[in-house]
Structure 1
């Protein structure tokens, strides 16, 4: 088969946006023009071409995808979404270590479409991310993975646990060593809560993302740069499919971690005790 249909889909921003719009539901011409913010004279040639190639159907003033158009959009949408993720923050992604994302989730990285790149200013350099507080304090369930250590993490986690938030914490080996050494009492109080669980990833810190934080309403992601440094930049996304993607990433690493029974005591899992 020639690549005519692929070219038709990918090499015109107007045609691509029109097809994605009709993938949601059939629409009138006036509605299409309003949503795409383009003049009628600019859109009509593209509609004519898509009709001729059998990708859209017209019924009076209403337009919809044909069966063939629906199939093609369903296949090409993951590609378009992935491209959008990288294009929106191209400089950030170009310098991140992406090998900490398992392949099955890299294939669906388009689920992170719409992520906002955030970087705390100098006035917040020693604070927890404001978005972590804003989006997480009212949540009923929280997943947190840290492979770097922030001195406010223990107290923040304890406050959440006291509010009966179901919280799961994953630390890298290095960050857990700091947690269990300098914040032993706070760690013990966290583990006293039945709604709190603590895990340690037994691999190397750079094998995992710098930050995964998932609440009921938000996902925060941080990745090391290619030199193995965390630059304090992170991505925020509040879309449902991004939250689901973040939970899957967290669960992937939780399955590769050891649960902590008690901090720096005989009850701690043997594999964890070895490196304390």
Structure 2
């Protein structure tokens, strides 16, 4: 328990140990990267040395074998704690049971996310973050479990730019799409680089939005009351992009390909398309 306390109950120790997972570091480099003073870090270094978690060789510090094992095992927990601390009010009110358990365990991969509030996105007009980080990509994957009237035109605009587009819609969203924007939908389906899918998995609530380009992940969740408040997290880290792609593939595996806006499924042969972009 004492070792756990050393890891969890001091940001200086935690950040110091995580830094050393990347390799041995000179003390001056450590102080610069952590933005702390030598006098404030020395007591923590002393404790870590006493517990045998780090090794000192002159001015260079590295993890011991025990320290390396402990920190690597604890890293997923440390990451998820950091992620929750970054936007604690947001995460404490999100409905996360839509995330499969194997990805829920790796929620810390979203560490470093930016929280986008409704006011910052101009009331979702189709949020500038989608325009800025997605229209310049060569491939974009999108999931919407609610309907916004700009989804059809945005998806068509991406397809017209020769961007590879995969769009998953909830059943309700697709019904609204096919009823009010049938022509736009048919134009999307006519493009060889674009496809539309309808989620047909178990009727559990799926995230409000998943949008992934080559360099950005934008994701929104419903709150604990099942309402969408227009809040999103934006992340550019490779780990977050990988996590988001795995989440998208989870829903893709429970979706059917749309061949026409008149129906939401294709023949069995047509459904055997690759889900990879």
TM-score after normalising by structure 1: 0.92
CA contact (8 A) 1:172 1:203 kept: no
Q: 8 Å contact 2:109–2:239 — kept in the other structure?
A: yes
Q: Indicate the residue corresponding to 1:95 in structure 2.
A: 93
Do structure 1's residue 186 and structure 2's residue 187 form an aligned pair? no
Q: The residue matched to 1:164 in structure 2 has which SS?
A: coil
Distance of aligned partners of 1:151 and 1:206 in 2 relative to their CA distance in 1, 3 Å threshold = farther
Q: State TM-score, norm by structure 2.
A: 0.92
Q: Secondary structure at the match of 1:101?
A: coil
Query: Structure 1 residue 124: deviation in Å?
Result: 2.4
Please give the alpha-carbon distance, in whole angstroms, between the structure 2 residues aligned to 1:147 and 1:226: 16
State whether residues 147 and 205 of structure 1, in contact with CA within 8 Å, keep that contact through their aligned partners in structure 2: no
CA distance in 2, matches of 1:171, 1:155: 15
Is the contact made by 1:160 and 1:167 (CA closer than 8 Å) also made in structure 2? yes
Q: Per-residue deviation at 1:136?
A: 0.1
- For the 8 Å contact 1:118–1:235, the answer to whether it is kept is yes
Counterpart residue number, 2:131:
133
Matched, 1:269 2:254: no
Higher helix share: 1
* 1:57 to partner: Cα distance: 1.0
Partner of 1:254: 252
Shift of 1:44: 1.6
Alpha-carbon separation, structure 2, partners of 1:204 and 1:178: 20
Give the structure 2 partner of residue 177 of structure 1: 175
Structure 1 Cα separation of the partners of residues 132 and 36 of structure 2: 37
1:201 matched residue in structure 2 = 199
1:223 matches 2:224:
no
The reply on whether 1:18 has 2:9 as its aligned counterpart is no
User: Match for 1:112 among 95, 110, 113?
Assistant: 110
Aligned to 1:81: 79
Q: How many residues align?
A: 268
Task: Map Cα deviations across residues 204-245 of structure 1 (whole Å, 9 max, x no partner).
Answer: 776100000000110011111122111111110111110110
Range moving further from structure 2, 165-174 or 18-27: 18-27
Kindly provide the CA deviation profile for residues 73-94 of structure 1, in whole angstroms up to 9, marking residues without a partner as x.
1011100110111111111111
In the other structure, the counterpart of 2:141 is 143
Q: Deviations over 1:11-55 (max 9, x none)?
A: 222211111111122111112122222222222222122122211
Question: 2:30 aligns to what?
Answer: 32
Q: Which moved more, 1:125-134 or 1:240-249?
A: 125-134
CA distance in 2, matches of 1:63, 1:122: 43
Task: State the distance in 2 between where 1:91 and 1:126 align.
Answer: 21
User: How far off is 1:109 after superposition?
Assistant: 0.3
SS at match of 1:145: strand
